[in-house]
A and B are shown apart, each in its own frame.
Chain A
Amino acid sequence: MTSAGPQLTGYLLVAAMLFAIGLAGALVRRNAIMVLIGIELMLNAANLNLIAFWRFGAHPETLTGMMFAVFSIAVAAAEAAVGLGLVISIYRHTYTTDLDRMNRMKG
């Protein structure tokens, strides 16, 4: 683990690519569940950034980045639960999870 090289940059590039993949998934797919999966990927990419900056930052013993990532994981779990509940609720009304056909605001 002591080999020289731009380590932090590698992690940041992986996180940027994962974020772009998640964004593409959220924008390109029709299914609402796939959009939620894309959002989860984006949140995870942000967590990878936080952990990488914590690891290579000046004061890792203060645990700031790590705590931020742990709380972010908890909030993402809550978001997944509510989001998937919403998808199931919409499916009960319209019998579809296709976002292109969810064009009414009337219940």
Chain B
Amino acid sequence: MNAVFYLLAVLTLAGGLAAILFKHLIHSALAVTVAFGGLALLFLQLDAQFAGFAQILIYIGAVAILIVFAILLTHGSELPKEGVFSRSWILGLVIAAGVFAVLAWAVLQSVHAAPQQSAVPVVSVRDIGNALVGRYVLPLEIVGLLLTAATVGAVIVAKHETGRSR
């Protein structure tokens, strides 16, 4: 537990909190990008270089851009008249606080059972590649199929429907 961890944790949580509190959707998208970046740095601090750089490429590079595109295509940059928070926001906050309380209680109860120190794992990208085409080849194929289906499905869903009366 060192200063870098605290800095990254504060950065990530502040980004997430800002994302759900900002009124403008574009500001929220930028704040959530900060949170994704903080998470990528946390992955790097956990010696998971591959996952950290995959996080940067996929989330900051692709998902954040996709969110910004969706906001602009749906005129989300205009503030709604009736406010940005839902009618039942108190209930939502209570549920989220309850979930956090349960999770934090469980984590703090298991401090002594959890392994806290271990040697730094030596994992090269070569090992990850060998595992991906060796032991994890079936999940890899299924993910490939899923990504293909999701790409085609997203195009079909978002495509302008012709020949249909509105």
Contacts and interface: CB of A to CB of B under 8 A. Distances in A.
Contacts of A91: 73-74
Interface residues of A, number: 77
A71 B123 contact: no
Nearest to B62: A77
B151 A37 contact: no
Interface string B71-111: 10110100010111111110111011101100110011001
A74 B109 CA distance: 32
Give chain B's interface residue range (CB within 8 Å of chain A). 35 or more
A72 B4 CA distance: 26
A8 B87 contact: no
Contacts of A1: 2, 120
Nearest to A4: B117
B158 A89 contact: yes
Contacts, number: 261
Contacts of B158: 85-86, 88-89
Given A70-B54, A100-B87, A24 B47 contact: no
A52 B36 CA distance: 16
Contact of A14 (B12, B55, B59, B71): B12
A63 interface: yes
A6 B153 CA distance: 44
Interface of A is mostly: helix
Contacts of B116: 5-9, 56
A58 B39 contact: no
A67 interface: yes
Interface string A49-68: 00110111110110100110
A6 B71 CA distance: 41
Q: Which of B19, B58, B97, B120 has the most CB of A within 10 A?
A: B19
The 8 closest A-B pairs by CB, nearest first: A27-B92, A25-B20, A20-B100, A60-B121, A78-B150, A24-B96, A16-B103, A85-B154
Interface of A: 1, 3-14, 16-31, 33-34, 36-38, 40-41, 44, 47-48, 51-52, 54-58, 60-61, 63, 66-67, 69-71, 73-82, 84-89, 91-93, 97-100
Given A20-B96, A54-B48, 4 more contacts: A19-B99, A23-B96, A30-B82, A82-B157
